Amino acid sequence: MAVIILLTVAIIWGHSFMTPEMSTEESSFVKEIVEAVVQSVSNNEAFVIPEVVIRKSAHFIEYAILGLELAILIAITIKEPLAEDKKRGLIKRIFSFYPTAFIFSLFVASVDETIQYFTGRYSSFWDVLLDMTGASFSIGIFLLLRSLIRKKRK
């Protein structure tokens, strides 16, 4: 799992190393695909999506994937608490281990924006917040689903 996380970080940072022209070209390509699919499915030939929506969605999705991978890695590596200590174990997990996923995501996002600054692209604190929103969303959904599955098993 750690290898997959490192690969995801490499892909995220690899996108940051793109020149502004390369980034715009990639966003335009994705925009055309999304528009074609939506136009085909909805029979709405006039549908157009702003490029900024594509760019910001990419931030959210990349970090949602990273957050999910981190949550899975943490869940795999944390040992189950003893039966008499289950409640304390869950609380300990949430407040002691999962913040590691948030902190790691914040580190990756900060480096991501720093790389963009040095490649001549726009760097933004708001993009870091968007990245963290993506990571937080997937970690939260993971924790919720995991909790629901465990309750159903009982």
For residue range 92-143, list pLDDT tens digits in order. 555 556 788 889 999 999 999 999 999 888 888 999 999 999 998 998 898 8
Q: Which of 49, 24, 42, 56 is nearest to 121 (CA)?
A: 24
- State the pLDDT confidence band at 82, using cuts at 50, 70 and 90: very low
Residue 17 pLDDT more than 90?
yes
> Rounded CA gap, 113 and 15, in Å?
11
Lowest model confidence (mean pLDDT) among 53-57, 65-69, 120-124: 120-124
- Burial classification of residue 96, based on how many CB atoms lie within 10 Å of its CB (0-12 exposed, 13-18 middle, 19 or more buried): exposed
> Rounded CA gap, 109 and 69, in Å?
15
- State the pLDDT confidence band at 87, using cuts at 50, 70 and 90: low
> Rounded CA gap, 120 and 6, in Å?
25
Q: Which of 91, 56, 48, 94 is nearest to 74 (CA)?
A: 94
Residue 66 CB: number of other CB atoms within 10 A?
Answer: 26
> Rounded CA gap, 132 and 101, in Å?
10
User: How many domains in the chain?
Assistant: 1
Q: Which of 82, 103, 79 is nearest to 93 (CA)?
A: 79
- Burial classification of residue 30, based on how many CB atoms lie within 10 Å of its CB (0-12 exposed, 13-18 middle, 19 or more buried): middle
Residues spanned by the domain of 64: 2-153
* Greatest C-alpha distance within the chain: 61
